Amino acid sequence: MSTPLLKAEGLGIQFGGLKAVDEFNFEIDKNQLFGLIGPNGAGKTTVFNLLTGVYQPTSGRILFEGQPIKKANTIKITKAGIARTFQNIRLFKEMSVIDNVKVGLHYSHPYTVFDALFHTPKYKKAEAAMQEEALSLLRVFHLEEFAESKAKNLPYGKQRKLEIARALATAPKLLLLDEPAAGMNPTETAELMETIKIV
């Protein structure tokens, strides 16, 4: 039997006297779509925060590809292959649309401060590669024409798409979408669902 991509066993977190999540168990396999459904306040976002290192669980364990990630921070979890979006959009609003996506690509195209300061060949090569990859992702979401616009100037639905594009830029093995269609109208929601099926 194959190892689940992500597994939670007895996962829980307590804030003072409040148990926000208690004895949460699930498994997600590779290439599987998995939905977490519940009313407002049920703890869905808290579970996402536990899985991505924003919160540390007070009980239970989390396994990603069979390895424990309970005490890993958000950077280590991203590098391991888990990316996410947020219920409330978290973009770099003053940065351009394409630069928001390129932020996610820096994990796969690292260079030093020296390279950046002196625009070494390594820097130029990495930047050119990131530019092309970022444009490719923007095309998937039909955002390429807004590449040089500030993220804050995009309509709400397009900001949602941009956040997903940025998450995909980290080349995740698992993508967690926290209410990706929140605040979208029916047309925007339908477009987003079709795009998610493609990616």
Contact 47, 36 (CB under 8 A): yes
pLDDT tens, 49-89? 999 999 999 999 999 999 998 788 888 999 899 999 998 88
Contact 110, 165 (CB under 8 A): no
Half-sphere exposure of residue 65: CA atoms within 13 angstroms, side-chain side: 7
pLDDT tens, 117-160? 889 999 999 999 999 999 999 999 999 999 999 999 999 989 99
The torsion region of residue 113 among left (phi > 0), alpha (psi -120 to 50) and beta comes to alpha
Say if residue 85 is exposed, middle or buried (CB neighbours under 10 Å; 0-12, 13-18, 19+).
buried
Map tokens 């594009």 to a residue.
165
pLDDT at 170 over 90: yes
Backbone angles phi, psi at 107, to 5 degrees: -65, -35
* pTM exceeds cut of 0.85: yes
pLDDT tens, 78-94? 989 999 999 888 999 99
